[in-house]
Amino acid sequence: MKKVAIIMGSTSDLPVVKKAADVLRDFGVPFEAHVYSAHRTPEEARAFALNARANGFGVIIAAAGMAAHLAGALAAATTLPVIGIPINSALDGLDALLSTVQMPSGIPVATVAVDGAKNAAFLAVQILAVSDASLAEKLAAQRAKNAADILKKDETVMNEI
């Protein structure tokens, strides 16, 4: 199975990023987490992205706030899918969201909601599941469980109103 890389621009992003790690663990997806900054360690970030495929990665998740150039910088150096998590560090995360989502043609970054680490991990699992039937089955089972949980809540909601 391919690994997922979780790259954060700063350890201050760790509380958000841990949610992605939890989802990946739940699905049994191997991952590595690193701190590389698009601005403070650009050479290291680029080297990681350039070598990610050869090092067994299938998807990169990049979390950054403020200028939030990390996902784009990594995407520019790899053909692997890159998923950006804009981190709420100023302006309710709108600055990071716009920096992450506004990429030039040919260098896409899939972007989730501000602080949307869980969905970043779910998307990474979905990408890997394209070529991994066991992961696809786990995703289907998880969605069926979510649906059953909602329907169970539907049965009792009138008792709570």
CA distance 67 to 82: 17
Instruction: Give tens-digit pLDDT for 96-148.
Output: 999 999 999 999 999 999 999 999 999 999 999 999 999 999 999 999 999 99
Q: Are 29 and 124 in contact (CB under 8 A)?
A: yes
pLDDT of amino acid 125:
98
How many helices, marked H, and strands, marked E, lie in the chain?
Answer: 6, 5
- Using alpha carbons, select from 148, 149, 103, 110 the residue that is nearest to residue 126: 110
* The one-letter amino acid at 106: G
Domains of the chain: 3-132 (3.40.50.1970)
Q: β-strands 31-35, 57-65: how paired?
A: unpaired
pLDDT of amino acid 67:
87
pLDDT of amino acid 4:
98
Q: Which residues pair with 59 in a beta bridge?
A: 4
Instruction: Give tens-digit pLDDT for 56-111.
Output: 999 999 999 988 999 999 999 999 999 999 999 989 999 999 999 999 999 999 99
pLDDT of amino acid 90:
87
pLDDT of amino acid 50:
98
